[in-house]
Amino acid sequence: MARLLPLGDAAWTVEFGDAIDPALHARVMGFARALDAAALPGVIEAVPTFRSCTVHFDPLADGADTLGVRLLEIAAFAPAAALAGRRWRIPVLFGDEAGPDLADMAAHCGRSERDVAETMTACVFRVYMLGFMPGFPYMGGLPDTLAMPRLATPRKAVPARSLAVTGTLCAVYPFASPGGWRLLGRTPVELFDARLASPALFAPGYEVMWQAVDAAEFARIETEDAAGRLDRAALPEEAHDLDRTLRRQPGHEDQVLHGRVAIEARPDEVLLGPEPGLQWIEGGVLPEALRGRADVRDGRRNAHPDGAERTTRSRAGIRARARGR
């Protein structure tokens, strides 16, 4: 049974349990979905976490107690809902300067550094929530055999994009920051870009796997990403419901949803959305399935019925023009 806890005079926290568990998280996300569908008056924002959801509301509106009762009713009847997401395979340089705590973890576990790195790359980590700083993903899935407490004395500076663990949790620091988690490596891929419509690379419900790379490959990818030439569409290992490729909409040409829907809008550009008749392509390489098709031209063009031309820029810096709604 869910518990209702006051958080000041402008928020309720609905608590579903006290563990980090996929089934419990599914209940939290199911509640968040049901709350959104209910469109309760006075509700400003819902913030789901590992095991609870905080609901912010207008304190000047009437009926805070009534709202609390309604939240418990929704919690009691909302079905569990695991978010459909993507599985990303992200490159990581393990050990040495990039992962200064890898040797200590290996010694603590009685294993070699290579063995620890191989275990990390074999795990599937689930993104439960974002917090602490923009784009910081709290992920579960670290085996108990690799569990270690935080550092007794936190570092004053953790390099940006550091892969870190504590307990059975895993995370990546999007920005340089103080921190007490154990650092095992670094990824060359930026996790947060405020210029994008969807700035964070990860979202709750996504799955992440790590792929070990050497220093030369790390430097190459880092340079490509910084220059806007990295094909992020190639990073996901497999598609889930959010990656619908070549889905046909009645009355329209083929709609393409390839990779994450993350498009950067400039003042002279129109931000395209996931609606019928629009083509979405992210990344610097056109998918093989689209090459040679009559309705896809110049690698980034598609004609649609109403003839209105719009322009977007992908995360990889590729401009795309589409005609449609």
State pLDDT tens for residues 44-58: 999 999 999 999 999
Write down the pLDDT at residue 208: 95
Structural domain containing residue 281: 247-323
User: If phi over 0 gives left and psi between -120 and 50 gives alpha, with beta otherwise, what is residue 276?
Assistant: beta
Write down the pLDDT at residue 255: 27
**Residues 184 and 98 sit within 8 Å (Cβ to Cβ):** no
277-321 residue pLDDT tens: 333 333 333 344 444 544 433 333 333 333 333 333 333 333 333
Write down the pLDDT at residue 82: 63
Tokens at 48, concatenated: 């789901």
My answer on whether 107 and 231 are in the same domain is yes
Write down the pLDDT at residue 61: 83
Instruction: Please give the tally of structural domains in the chain.
Output: 3
Which of residues 43, 77, 111 is at a domain's end?
A: 77
Question: Who has greater pLDDT, 71 or 320?
Answer: 71
- Average pLDDT value for residue range 20-46: 92
Does residue 82 sit within a domain?
Answer: no
My answer on whether 265 and 296 are in the same domain is yes
Tracing tokens 């603590």 back to the chain, one arrives at: 108
Write down the pLDDT at residue 211: 95
CA distances from 137 to 108, 122, 196, 207, 313 (A): 25, 19, 18, 11, 25
The structure's pTM equals: 0.69
* CA dist., res. 72 & res. 318, Å (int): 47
Write down the pLDDT at residue 83: 64
My answer on whether 251 and 226 are in the same domain is no
Which of residues 238, 267, 289 is at a domain's end?
A: 238
189-217 residue pLDDT tens: 999 988 888 899 998 888 999 999 999 99
Tell me the pLDDT of the chain averaged across its residues: 77
Confidence tier at 84 by pLDDT (50, 70, 90): low
